């Protein structure tokens, strides 16, 4: 059985539902039940006795895009663990691109970042190449970048603080840098941070990194490590936007693609493309009066 919850254009919702039902009537995932959730007139829940998630996802995309949604094989509930990417997911920027602007290298670095997010480049190689370009940049540029450029995405703090209030463990895991992630995590409310460390000497970036690389496999292992501490019945949710997030998204019970690149979107069983990050609270059936603004 598959259960899908989605938020889409309310004006055309009824006609789109009719189109979806007709499209799936002879498929492996016919719509058996469709109704708006009682607590929120925005969320439509669909149920089907089939198990072909890809067919259902494709049909929802065809009939309802743009939408916010989660598809699951069991009753959808508040997760026990939330692990999220940082850049372009919890914040609206790519930190390394913005930092590179202080060295007049933004376009060059951003081009590499985009190709890495699309899955066209090896992550570690692309990371080391970009960091090397920043050699000699004053460490103070990081603080200036944080103050002047880096902003949480709308709904990020409310999402994290509300999940925490519901007993959910929250972890920020990034292929970016602790210089940024530690500050962002404090602003938004994450309880743990995993990321890379920029090497600094005499107040300047050396163009290198300290310690091991936090990459896609690290993101997945952090999720599995944290989930293992919570017991076999624990449910996880992970959010990301790029190719580096795919293993984490696939490993989570609810793998959320936030305004994601195509490869990450295709790997997810949930997505946010229409609203802000509080759409996830609605999809998890958390009433707005229970939201924590922080």
The single-letter DSSP state of residue 153 is P
* Angstrom distance (rounded) from CA 14 to CA 115: 39
Check the CA dihedral 150-153-154-156 and report its sign: negative
* Angstrom distance (rounded) from CA 110 to CA 106: 6
* Angstrom distance (rounded) from CA 250 to CA 236: 11
Edge-to-edge strand ranges of the sheet holding 2-7: 33-36, 44-48, 2-7, 68-72, 270-272, 254-258, 236-240, 81-84, 169-177, 192-201, 204-210
Question: Which residue among the candidates 68, 80, 85, 245 is catalytic per the annotation?
Answer: 85
Please compute Rg for the chain using Cα positions: 20
Residue 265 tokens, joined: 């979107």
- Is 87 a catalytic site residue? yes
Closest CA to 155 of 89, 244, 226, 225: 89
Q: Which residues pair with 173 in a beta bridge?
A: 194
Question: Which residue among the candidates 68, 87, 97, 245 is catalytic per the annotation?
Answer: 87
Catalytically active residues, by annotation = 85, 87
């Amino acid at each position: 059985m598959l259960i899908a919850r989605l938020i889409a254009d309310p004006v055309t919702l009824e006609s789109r539902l009719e189109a979806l039902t007709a499209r799936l009537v002879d498929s492996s995932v016919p719509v058996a039940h469709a109704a708006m959730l009682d607590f929120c007139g925005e969320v439509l829940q669909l149920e089907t006795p089939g198990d072909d998630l890809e067919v259902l996802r494709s049909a929802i995309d065809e009939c309802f895009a743009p939408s916010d949604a989660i598809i699951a094989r069991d009753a959808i509930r508040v997760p026990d663990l939330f692990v999220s990417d940082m850049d372009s997911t919890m914040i609206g920027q790519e930190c390394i691109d913005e930092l590179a602007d202080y060295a007049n290298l933004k376009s060059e670095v951003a081009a590499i970042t985009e190709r890495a997010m699309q899955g066209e480049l090896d992550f570690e190689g692309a990371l080391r190449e970009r960091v090397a370009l920043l050699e000699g940049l004053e460490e103070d540029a990081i603080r200036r970048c944080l103050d002047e450029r880096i902003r949480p995405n709308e709904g990020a703090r409310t999402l994290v603080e509300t999940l925490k209030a519901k007993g959910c463990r929250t972890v920020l895991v990034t292929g970016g840098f602790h210089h940024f992630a530690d500050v962002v995590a404090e602003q938004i409310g994450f309880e743990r941070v995993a990321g890379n460390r920029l090497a600094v000497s005499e107040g300047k970036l050396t163009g290198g990194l300290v310690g091991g690389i936090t990459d896609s496999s690290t993101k997945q292992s952090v999720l599995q490590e944290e989930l293992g501490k919570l017991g076999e019945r624990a449910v996880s949710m992970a959010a990301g936007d790029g190719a580096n997030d795919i293993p984490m998204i696939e490993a989570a019970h609810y793998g959320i693609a936030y305004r994601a690149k195509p490869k990450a979107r295709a790997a997810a069983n949930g997505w946010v493309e229409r609203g802000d990050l509080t759409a996830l609270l609605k999809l998890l059936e958390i009433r707005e009066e229970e939201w924590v603004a922080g």
